[in-house]
Amino acid sequence: MLTIHELHEKLVRRDVSAVEVTKAFLAHKDTVEPKVRAFLSDSREGALKGAAAVDAKIAAGETIADLAGIPGAIKDNICIEGQQATCASKILEHFKAPYNATVIEKLAVSDYISLGKVNMDEFAMGSSTENSAFHETHNPWNLDCVPGGSSGGSAAAVASGSAVWALGSDTGGSVRQPAAYCGVVGLKPTYGLVSRYGLIAYASSLDQIGTLTNDVEDCAIVLNAIAGHDAKDSTSIPQEKQDYKQALVNDVKGLKIGIPEEFFGEGLDAASRKALDDAMDTYKKLGAEIVPISMPNMKYGIAAYYIIAPAEASSNLARYDGVGFGMRVDGKDIVDMYIKTRTEGFGDEVKRRILLGTYVLSSGYYDAYYLQAMKVRTLMKQDFDEALQKCDILLTPTAPDTAFKIGQNSGDPLAMYLGDVCTVPLNLAGLPGISIPCGYKDGLPIGMQLIGKALDEATLLRAAYTFEQNRTDLRMPSPMGEVEL
Ligand code: GLN
């Protein structure tokens, strides 16, 4: 699979032009997209224009950014001025973003190229991309399977070779789980490292924009482009900019890797367990220390997340009322108009979460559910604090199993929610996590999650990079063929 760093080299050496690169990716996308259906929109004209501008810079002898001229894809809940931002919802089907998200402004400085907006679960609620109001997306490794979610379009675009990199968002695993299912690298940064300005809100205390790429070096490159303080996001952390490429060191000697037993319990598939055990062996051989630990409050993760996230969602989604923006269905009076608009505009899962969220926030139940969940959140955070005092990083599965069949869980919300057991705790604690491929089962990729201390993405990247460099046996030919340059 072509990576950002390889393509950058080729551009700088003038082996190929940026326009040729974009055209090659568009041609590949045209052949695989009818099967994969990762995209919700097509920005080929803008992409070719952007590529021509990069070629002009190269011709003028200017230095170009690492990402310049390399085709990417953007999840459809991130605003690009003048383009659709549907959140894969009928209610925003005709909405055009009036401004750029901060990540887009930052990417523009790097002369990024976007081939289009990509599919997702409606308002990022889901784990399979089946909740998109428009269409399903297929897993490039097995077209009968889901790509994961909610950033399923982002993961499938990268895994199918239509895009070299993609942005997603992660509220409870939506970057890491699709990355695991599609065999790519997915990073959810520390809460506050990447600005959320212009990311359409799902659950604001958990939402974070993340990256999907073919390897760890590319992950560092995209993170370099999007990280940094932003005055427009009050939860953005003021801190000095780092160069994450410096973290790409093939060495884990002395690194303490915690293995929290609670992530390896009931429900973990045997092949995934084996792949993770092998990964621990790899790290041991490379000189890392494997430290068994216990984090007893992890068992509350799913319950706490599925109270807090819907609570925040019910408030965030109140704005889609047929008045400010988005779809409007007229009614006999204003209340009737609200009801009709929201009934027609939202899909079942979004309605379920709004109902759940309003219920747990209602006066009679606030203490029993919302407040309790917030207390549990603190306990979980303390578990992480203690674990990360003893260890540098933690190693867990990203998901209990590989990608499931399309339709398999769609009638069973609880089964779907339980699949998020390994990813939601990090969002509740605000910590960074990366999913990288660590094996295969029946032709489907298995993901390993590494969890780091807040703002210590560098150690995560070093550990992930070292694994990737030493486990070349895991490199597979691209499931849908290579892009022909
Ligand atoms: N699958 C989880 C949910 O449905 C996480 C989604 C996300 O991270 N956006 O809420």
Render pLDDT for 263-278 as a digit per residue (tens, 0 to 9).
Answer: 999 899 999 999 999 9
Residue pair 148/413 in contact by the 8 Å Cβ criterion:
no
pLDDT of residue 303: 98
Q: How far is the CA of 10 from the centre of ligand 1 (A)?
A: 37
Q: How far is the CA of 417 from the centre of ligand 1 (A)?
A: 8
**Amino acid identity of 446?**
I
pLDDT one-digit tens code per residue, 114-123? 999 999 999 9
Residue ranges lining ligand 1, Cβ < 6 Å: 124-127, 150, 170-174, 202, 309, 420
Confidence bin at 325 (pLDDT 50/70/90): confident
φ/ψ of residue 459, rounded to 5: -65, -40
Atom of ligand 1 nearest to the CA of 171: 8
Residue pair 139/150 in contact by the 8 Å Cβ criterion:
no
Q: What is the 3-state secondary structure (H, E, C) of the chain?
A: CCCHHHHHHHHHCCCCCHHHHHHHHHHHHHHHHHHHCCECCCCHHHHHHHHHHHHHHHHCCCCCCCCCCCEEEEECCECCCCCECCCCCHHHCCCECCCCCHHHHHHHHCCCEEEEEECCCHHHCCCCCCCCCCCCCCECCECCECCCCCCHHHHHHHHCCCCCEEEEECCCCCCHHHHHHHCCEEEECCCCCECCCCECCCCCCCCCEEEEECCHHHHHHHHHHHECCCCCCCCCCCCCCCCHHHHCCCCCCCCEEEEEHHHHCCCCCHHHHHHHHHHHHHHHHCCCEEEEECCHHHHHHHHHHHHHHHHHHHHHHHHCCCCCCCCCCCCCCHHHHHHHHHHHHCCHHHHHHHHHHHHHHCCCCHHHHHHHHHHHHHHHHHHHHHHHHHCCEEEEECCCCCCCECCCCCCCHHHHHHCCCCCHHHHHHCCCEEEEEEEEECCEEEEEEEEECCCCHHHHHHHHHHHHHHCHHHCCCCCCCCCCC
Atom of ligand 1 nearest to the CA of 206: 8
Q: How far is the CA of 167 from the centre of ligand 1 (A)?
A: 15
Average pLDDT, the chain: 98
- Statement: residue 143 has pLDDT above 90: yes
pLDDT of residue 51: 98
pLDDT one-digit tens code per residue, 333-360? 999 999 999 999 999 999 999 999 999 9
| Pocket residue to mutate for ligand 1, from 348, 354, 420, most atoms within 8 A of Cβ | 420
Tokens at 417, concatenated: 């929610």
What residue's CA is closest to ligand 1, atom 4? 126
Exposure class string for 294-308: b at 16+ Cβ within 10 A, else e: ebebbebbbebbbbb
Averaged over 64-81, what is the pLDDT?
Answer: 98
pLDDT of residue 266: 87
Residue 194's DSSP bridge partners are 227
Residue 187's DSSP bridge partners are 211, 434
Atom of ligand 1 nearest to the CA of 427: 8
φ/ψ of residue 81, rounded to 5: -50, 130
Q: How far is the CA of 425 from the centre of ligand 1 (A)?
A: 12
Non-local CB neighbours of 57 within 8 Å, separated by 6+ positions: 64, 68, 111
Atom of ligand 1 nearest to the CA of 126: 4
Question: In residues, how long is the chain?
Answer: 485
Percent of the chain with pLDDT over 90: 99
φ/ψ of residue 203, rounded to 5: -130, 100
Atom of ligand 1 nearest to the CA of 125: 4
- Statement: residue 321 has pLDDT above 90: yes
- 49 is annotated as an active-site residue: no
| Pocket residue to mutate for ligand 1, from 125, 151, 200, 421, most atoms within 8 A of Cβ | 125
Atom of ligand 1 nearest to the CA of 175: 8
Q: How far is the CA of 174 from the centre of ligand 1 (A)?
A: 5
Strands 393-397 vs 256-260: parallel, antiparallel or unpaired: parallel
- 245 is annotated as an active-site residue: no
pLDDT of residue 378: 98
pLDDT of residue 219: 99
Number of other residues whose CB lies within 10 A of the CB of residue 461? 27
| Pocket residue to mutate for ligand 1, from 123, 171, 352, most atoms within 8 A of Cβ | 171
Q: How far is the CA of 125 from the centre of ligand 1 (A)?
A: 5
**Pick the catalytic residue: 162, 174, 236, 314?**
174
Atom of ligand 1 nearest to the CA of 173: 8
| Pocket residue to mutate for ligand 1, from 132, 150, 348, most atoms within 8 A of Cβ | 150
Report d(CA 331, CA 393) in Å as an integer.
Answer: 55
- 150 is annotated as an active-site residue: yes
pLDDT one-digit tens code per residue, 397-426? 999 999 999 999 999 999 999 999 999 999
pLDDT of residue 429: 98
**Pick the catalytic residue: 29, 75, 106, 188?**
75
What residue's CA is closest to ligand 1, atom 5? 172
**Pick the catalytic residue: 110, 114, 150, 151?**
150
Q: How far is the CA of 181 from the centre of ligand 1 (A)?
A: 14
pTM value is 0.98
Q: How far is the CA of 80 from the centre of ligand 1 (A)?
A: 22
What residue's CA is closest to ligand 1, atom 10? 125
Residue 73's DSSP bridge partners are 166
